[in-house]
Amino acid sequence: MAAVALVQGASRGLGLQFCQHLLSHRAPVAVIATCRDPDGAPALSALAAGNPSRVTVLQLDVTREEQIQRAAERVRSAFSGVDLLINCSAVLHPSGKGETSLRDVSAEGVTSTLATNTVGPLLMAKYFAPLLQKGTGQFGRQPAEKTKQHNGILVNMTARVGSIGDNALGGWYSYRMSKAALNMATRNLSIELGRSRPKIVCVSLHPGTVDTDLSRPYHKNVPQHKLFSTQYSVQRLMEIIDSLSMDKSGKAYAWDGSEIPW
């Protein structure tokens, strides 16, 4: 039975690259790609057109719960389960720039960032966890004994700046808070879904500083050797996903496999 991977936020950047990587390196995996506006995602549309039997594109605005629920119902009717769910959608701030000081903070900016970066992935887990429990466990590492430890894997894309213990610079209130809260959601999910039958591995992954629209305003401050292509970042992240098992659930990992403190 072919594995099923769902990438939430697949129109560009890391999400689109995850889809491309899965298609190229994980035949015959079926890819479900979601984004807010499929008609306005030409690269994703071209990818789907070139792989009509393996790619399903669904409209899903992660800030709208009814769309998440509707997408889950469509996936349930078309597939027996989901093996891997990757939540990729993220915003730095509605303005496109992180707050440099307290005077830049607004209620609208904080709540909007939290809605996309934190609440959305949590609601994805709410509606797609039953499908992950029906997965076949084809991603990650299973124990040597015959009984599977997990059926599905849930990945939340985090950022090192969301680590409270690692924060020495301050700033970026909305983005830091949203990723710190996402990490707490990941931890909570790992406990609840780790008790379920079947079990689900839940982790937060940090892709490094990647050449995407989100980080582009800050590229001039990043050393060239620390600015990653989407291809390199996704390759390293998939290596981590391939190594996951229940004992690694509930943690945050950087692109190089190192654990990030909460």
pLDDT digits (tens, 9 = 90+) for 201-222: 999 999 998 877 665 565 556 5
- Tell me if 185 sits within 8 A of 121, measured CB to CB: yes
Task: Give the mean pLDDT of 139-148.
Answer: 86
Query: Could you give phi then psi for residue 31, rounded to 5 degrees?
Result: -110, 125
Rounded distance, CA 216 to CA 211, Å?
6
Query: What span, in angstroms and rounded, lies between the C-alpha atoms of 32 and 71?
Result: 10
Q: Domain residues of the chain, as ranges?
A: 4-254
What residues contact 200, with CB distance under 8 A and at least 6 apart? Answer: 129, 132, 133, 150, 151, 152, 153, 154, 189, 193, 194, 249
Q: CA separation (Å) from 251 to 36, 54, 246, 261?
A: 28, 31, 11, 9
Cα–Cα distance, 210 to 219 (Å, whole number) = 9
The rounded distance, in Å, linking the Cα atoms of 138 and 49 is 26
Predicted confidence at residue 149, as pLDDT, reads 92
Least confident of 45-49, 68-72, 150-154, 211-215: 211-215
pLDDT (tens digit, 9 = 90+) per residue, 74-133? 999 999 899 999 999 999 999 999 999 999 999 999 999 999 999 999 999 999 999 999
CATH no. for 4-254: 3.40.50.720
Residue in 27, 67, 78, 10 with CA at minimum distance from that of residue 19: 10
**Residue pointed to by tokens 């560009």:** 12
Tell me the C-alpha distance between 107 and 105, whole Å: 7
